[in-house]
Amino acid sequence: MSISKEEVEHVARLARLALTEEEKVLYAEQLGRILGHAARVTSLDTEGVPPTAQAIELANVFRPDEPGKPAPSLTQEEALANAPAVEAGHFRVPRILEAED
């Protein structure tokens, strides 16, 4: 199981990770080995086996449409307290290049 540098670059773009050339080489090799090991899974016979996304069997868990439940809102000050950059009550970010969706 080997993974190309191009695949690594594509995945890094999806994950918004700026990788160094060294990291690209390293991850291509390591992901290849880890996924190779996972062949034991991919070779399992799962014909007709339903997938498990959750190990519990709950359904219909809701909250009432009531403000403050289950937790109250924050003040603007609290909301912005951890922000790296703030302007006029907003979170400030660099320019957005292309509208992705």
Partner 1 sequence: MSATPGSARPPWTLTATELIGLLRSGDLSATELTQSLLERIEQVDRDVRAYITVTPERALARAAAVDRARAAGEDPGPLAGVPVAVKDIIATKGVRTTAGSRILDNYIPPYSATVAERLDAAGLPMLGKTNLDEFAMGSSTENSAWFPTRNPWDLGRVPGGSSGGSAAAVAAGEAVWSIGTDTGGSIRQPASLCGVVGLKPTYGLVSRSGLIAFASSLDQAGPFARSVADAALLLQVMAGRDPRDSTSLPNPVPDYSAHLDDGVEGLRVGVVSQLMGEGVQAGVRQRVQEAITLLGKLGAEVGEVSLPTFDAGIDVYYLIAPAEASANLARFDGVRYGLRVDGEDVAKMNSRTRAEGFGAEVKRRIMLGTYALSAGYYDAYYGKAQKARTLIIHDFARAYEDFDVLLSPTSPTTAFAIGEKTQDPLTMYLSDVCTVPTSLAGATAISIPCGVAPEDGLPVGLQLMGRALDEVTVLRAAHALEEELGPMPHPPLWGSPSE
Partner 2 sequence: MSDAAPELLTTIGLEIHCELATATKMFCGCAVGFGGEPNTRVCQVCLGHPGTLPVPNERAVAYAIKIALALGCRIAPSSIFHRKNYFYPDMPKNYQISQYDIPLGLAGSLDVTTGAGTRAIGITRVHLEEDTGKSLHMGSGGRIHDADYSLEDFNRAGTPLVEIVTEPDMTSPDEGRTFAQELRSILEYLEVSDVRLEEGSMRFDANISVAPPGERGAKVEVKNLNSLRSLHRALAYEEVRQREVLAGGGTIDQSTRHWDEKSGVTRPLRTKEHAFDYRYFPEPDLVPIKPSPEWLEGITAGIPELPPARRRRFIADYGLTPYDAALLVATRAAGTFFEDAVAGAGNVEPKLVANWLANDLLGRLAERSEDLATTKVTPQNLGALVGLVAAGSISGNQGKVVLDEMIATGRPAAEIVDERGLRQVSGRSELEAVVGEVLAANADVVERIRAGDTKPQGFLVGQIMRATKGQANPAVVQELLRDLLQR
Specify the 3-state DSSP secondary structure of 86.
strand
Backbone angles phi, psi at 53, to 5 degrees: -95, -25
Interaction of residue 41 with partner 2, rule CB under 8 A:
no
Interaction of residue 100 with partner 2, rule CB under 8 A:
yes
Residue from 18, 44, 49, 93 in contact with partner 2 (CB under 8 A)? 93
Interaction of residue 18 with partner 2, rule CB under 8 A:
no
Interaction of residue 43 with partner 2, rule CB under 8 A:
no
Q: 86 pairs with which residues across the strands?
A: 91
Interaction of residue 10 with partner 2, rule CB under 8 A:
yes
Distance in angstroms (rounded) separating the CA atoms of residues 34 and 37: 5
* Omega of the bond leading into 84 within 30 degrees of 0 (cis): no
Q: Which does 67 bind (CB under 5 to 8 A by kind): partner 2, partner 1, none?
A: partner 2
Distance in angstroms (rounded) separating the CA atoms of residues 81 and 92: 13
Interaction of residue 5 with partner 2, rule CB under 8 A:
no
Binding region for partner 2 (CB under 8 A): 10, 13-14, 16, 53-54, 56, 58-76, 79-80, 87-96, 98-101
